[in-house]
Structure 1
């Protein structure tokens, strides 16, 4: 029977950091378990390869959510990485940490050690900033390469200049003193290639003799004996087995799978577990609750000239056919794009009217600008040229849940974002669409502007926009919160140890422990959680 000191479930943003730190001690044995396979594919390493990753079940769980009551009962795909690197292997590589008040808000909720001044040194420790940004906010000696876009599209500059129309200044560092404004996003890349948590933290040290990496292995449940986890029940290639843990089991499987494993192990709401035929081992009603995500919608415009990224007769030779050559020789051209090259943070009138200094007065929407046309019909690909702005609600008040389906498998999850359950989220996104339109109406776009295809010029009133949002709004794929840390009755893990309440040696170390959603992209904060969680384990083991 296989046995290790530490078992880490999930080789994603946090899990790879934990594996690196724990295996640095040659005296301990570490097993890193990943449900997916390797990530040695051009689709992963080349930035523009994102196009072939979403929905590709080799690399993506491609979960389907439940019908959304407030979005005309639509179901939506929930993309989550299923490969070494997890979602950091399939995401847009944007490096954003969140707002300072996000972390201070965690501290006010009773999460000691998680304020902005607590987490900033952790972010800096992980970072290898290549953009010559301020040492007050950035690190330069970490494993995670953070850099400027390799070859940003010129239309991104048009978008940034257009921000002046909406009172938005240029911002060259969204992780500095202020998020407010527009700019080109820093990305997790190195020499024009994706940097995932796996390539940054595990690949360089995977030859360590005390580190075992298991791929294509699903963790079904914890193997519990009283309040101790003796190991995990897994399945690989149709064969089930048990893997034992001498010290701890660390769940880093993400906001969807970590609570699924806990629930399947009998840790959760007692009444709901018993209704599924699962013996309740720890009555912990918060497991799977508090799901939060950024709800998002777009304004997409056709371009009357072929200056943006797109496939047309005029772009075929110089940009499409020659793209592989430009990338191979210079790391230039369209294959360097992460699609959401520029963006930024703005305030709707709701934030502008909030009490100065409060979290509600911070930017409440985020933009992701794409210098290409995004289909108004929901197609993955459309011929021609254009540009789009995606707008999301940064701090949603609507919360959903992850539950087990009543199919007897204890593996199928019901993902209910419960988007727009809170009316304020509706109002923020309506105002966000207006703000995006205000930017795109700038004279800066006059030379290329064509027809607005979505929402379309006929969609003008708040009621019209809300209807459009109910028909089209989706997730930005930033789910958090389903095993939240805290001191209230719905908390799942202790903030000072990340141990699951009621268990002695099981921790959750991933985005699911966030009590509230941060204002921005979540992969980098998840790595920070991995670093802090690993240090908690190391501190305990040294006592």
Structure 2
């Protein structure tokens, strides 16, 4: 091909044939899309350099004085309020044809303002697996120091230790901006030994520190709160409020519609972003310039929408929306993983005067016992079926079936060769007669998607997690439910708590010795989503369907990064918030080192 033809193709690929540049009303070095958990970490660290300017664009507001945010025992009170996006999925064919609700924070601090505050990172092998997906240098060892950098751990008091809190200091940081500890109301009670003895009677050992990189067992997980002030410590309180006086850092209220591209600015065949177009509350369009980079931190359910609106994604989908394709990247919005969860309530009373919760992490061996080898073989044989089902549901041009098979095989190895934990049971004890278990599947094999519903309304995405597309997810949740039931009906918990039996959800009858089929019917009709979405702009090789490279840069762009849960390529055993703080801390250092 003649040099002139090559130059023309590069020009068209970089958007030079048609200008998208607009007149900026204001310019900054860095624009961060979203003031959530990850976005505020990056904003804080980039603005440490007084010579650069940072703007964070966020549709939510400052909720620092909202009692539903600050109160450490107010979990759930912010759900379905104006500070919750309160998304709804499409009806789930394999889950009773029901739509599922998904909670996501719409505020300074994002979901860290409305979540359960649990701070648990996950297993070593889960982070090490990121390297197998095309991310050299991303593993437990490389991110562990960033966990400690972000953390300000408060050692439990004597009464909290007596109530079940335990820790090992070598796994914690003590000088970071994020307070981590236990609620001051956590007090000693006679139920703590009963919890320990009951779990150990079921061959589940006590884990002294759930943040050690090995979460198997049971323990009382710390939370993102200031133990002395008894206040939730969300990302805004940790990373923005202490530095909000910086003249080079601003939060601008508005909703980003799309990234804008430079006309005439192409680096080695890659598109160059020159800013973003946003919508004000008054409905007016405004464009802000970015002199260095655009960092998208809108969360797993919104980041892919921003990319698609900017012309990055599957050409078929973009064409149907009337959006010009600038980068052919079919993985955008795909690989959505959501954890199906369920609640079991039990009648009884432990005489507790304060609330407490124990996290129990179970492996496939714990869940399936003598049937483990048969289940391991059967699930491995079913991987091609699940990959094909996901590809068929998304469209053959959306998911690379072989790439997805590789991803699912890595996940299978984690569960059955590396013995990472497969399910979590959260045992909750509250004053009065409330005894409950919230349990969920940690590593679903089902894969879903999230895409724009229309080019002009980014606030109403089409979310399809395809809950129970893989029947193994249903089997895992069933096994976890049985384990939770055994806990409450085993000694000494049963006698000490006067536990008489479960109080079931809905009108479904679930006999004490229910069969697998009866459990499956029950769970299909009553399971919920855990609101832990990941993977929709995965950090993995482009060949596997990845969207960003190991420097978190969107493939085909010179200066657009993604830093949030959408970058996490597979689920984790821990609660996402803890992992995201470490991810964002490391991302900020990468951005500083690689920005030109």
* Alpha-carbon separation, structure 2, partners of 1:429 and 1:137: 30
Pick one of 36, 46, 53 that aligns with 1:22: 46
Alignment-derived partner of residue 454 in structure 1 = 504
Following superposition, the deviation at residue 158 of structure 1 comes to 3.6
Gaps of 5+ in 1: 310-333, 374-383
Following superposition, the deviation at residue 495 of structure 1 comes to 3.4
Following superposition, the deviation at residue 114 of structure 1 comes to 1.1
Structure 1 residues 157 and 475: alpha-carbon distance in aligned structure 2, compared to 1, 3 A threshold: farther
Following superposition, the deviation at residue 306 of structure 1 comes to 7.6
* Alpha-carbon separation, structure 2, partners of 1:189 and 1:288: 32
Say whether residues 1:496 and 2:520 are aligned partners. no
* Alpha-carbon separation, structure 2, partners of 1:490 and 1:97: 25
Alignment-derived partner of residue 50 in structure 1 = 75
Measured on the aligned residues, the alpha-carbon RMSD in Å equals 2.2
* Alpha-carbon separation, structure 2, partners of 1:453 and 1:187: 28
Pick one of 144, 162, 166 that aligns with 2:202: 166
> In the alignment, is the contact (CA less than 8 A) between 1:348 and 1:431 conserved in 2?
no
Alignment-derived partner of residue 324 in structure 2 = 279
* Alpha-carbon separation, structure 1, partners of 2:72 and 2:38: 21
Which whole-Å deviations, capped at 9, do the CAs of 1:260-288 have from their partners, x for residues lacking one? 11111111000111011111111110000
Moved more, 360-369 or 14-23: 360-369
Pick one of 475, 493, 496 that aligns with 1:427: 475
> In the alignment, is the contact (CA less than 8 A) between 2:34 and 2:298 conserved in 1?
yes
> In the alignment, is the contact (CA less than 8 A) between 1:230 and 1:244 conserved in 2?
yes
Secondary structure class of the residue paired with 2:344: strand
TM alignment of 1:92-107, pairs within 5 A: 92-107=116-131
Alignment-derived partner of residue 244 in structure 2 = 206
Following superposition, the deviation at residue 136 of structure 1 comes to 3.4
Secondary structure class of the residue paired with 1:47: coil
Structure 1 residues 488 and 407: alpha-carbon distance in aligned structure 2, compared to 1, 3 A threshold: closer
> In the alignment, is the contact (CA less than 8 A) between 2:331 and 2:547 conserved in 1?
no
Say whether residues 1:62 and 2:106 are aligned partners. no
> In the alignment, is the contact (CA less than 8 A) between 2:323 and 2:455 conserved in 1?
no
Structure number with bigger Rg: 2
Structure 1 residues 532 and 31: alpha-carbon distance in aligned structure 2, compared to 1, 3 A threshold: same
Alignment-derived partner of residue 323 in structure 1 = none
Following superposition, the deviation at residue 427 of structure 1 comes to 1.2
Structure 1 residues 457 and 237: alpha-carbon distance in aligned structure 2, compared to 1, 3 A threshold: closer
Following superposition, the deviation at residue 386 of structure 1 comes to 2.0
> In the alignment, is the contact (CA less than 8 A) between 1:165 and 1:439 conserved in 2?
no
* Alpha-carbon separation, structure 1, partners of 2:449 and 2:333: 5
Pick one of 126, 134, 140 that aligns with 1:116: 140
- Structure-1-length-normalised TM-score: 0.88
> In the alignment, is the contact (CA less than 8 A) between 2:322 and 2:455 conserved in 1?
no
TM alignment of 1:207-226, pairs within 5 A: 207-215=245-253, 217-225=254-262
Pick one of 568, 583, 594 that aligns with 1:514: 568
Which whole-Å deviations, capped at 9, do the CAs of 1:427-457 have from their partners, x for residues lacking one? 1111111111111111223233133112665
Gaps of 5+ in 2: 1-24, 157-166, 264-270, 377-411
* Alpha-carbon separation, structure 1, partners of 2:333 and 2:420: 28
* Alpha-carbon separation, structure 1, partners of 2:430 and 2:511: 23
Following superposition, the deviation at residue 351 of structure 1 comes to 6.4
Following superposition, the deviation at residue 344 of structure 1 comes to 1.9
Alignment-derived partner of residue 146 in structure 1 = 180
Alignment-derived partner of residue 34 in structure 1 = 58
Alignment-derived partner of residue 438 in structure 2 = 390
Following superposition, the deviation at residue 408 of structure 1 comes to 5.1
Which whole-Å deviations, capped at 9, do the CAs of 1:365-416 have from their partners, x for residues lacking one? 111122249xxxxxxxxxx722111111111111100011148535420111
* Alpha-carbon separation, structure 1, partners of 2:244 and 2:368: 46
TM alignment of 1:18-417, pairs within 5 A: 18-40=42-64, 41-57=66-82, 59-131=83-155, 133-152=167-186, 154=189, 155=191, 158-190=194-226, 191=228, 192-215=230-253, 217-225=254-262, 227-238=271-282, 239-303=284-348, 305=349, 307=351, 341-349=357-365, 353=372, 358-360=414-416, 361-372=419-430, 385-406=433-454, 409-417=457-465
Secondary structure class of the residue paired with 1:287: coil
> In the alignment, is the contact (CA less than 8 A) between 1:300 and 1:388 conserved in 2?
yes
Which whole-Å deviations, capped at 9, do the CAs of 1:25-46 have from their partners, x for residues lacking one? 0000000111101112111011
> In the alignment, is the contact (CA less than 8 A) between 1:159 and 1:440 conserved in 2?
no
Following superposition, the deviation at residue 16 of structure 1 comes to 0.9
Secondary structure class of the residue paired with 1:248: strand
Secondary structure class of the residue paired with 2:76: helix
Which whole-Å deviations, capped at 9, do the CAs of 1:86-139 have from their partners, x for residues lacking one? 000100110010111111111122211211111111111111122274343222
* Alpha-carbon separation, structure 1, partners of 2:341 and 2:442: 9
Secondary structure class of the residue paired with 1:51: coil
Pick one of 481, 484, 493 that aligns with 2:538: 484
Secondary structure class of the residue paired with 1:49: coil
Secondary structure class of the residue paired with 2:219: strand
- Structure-2-length-normalised TM-score: 0.80
* Alpha-carbon separation, structure 2, partners of 1:177 and 1:462: 33
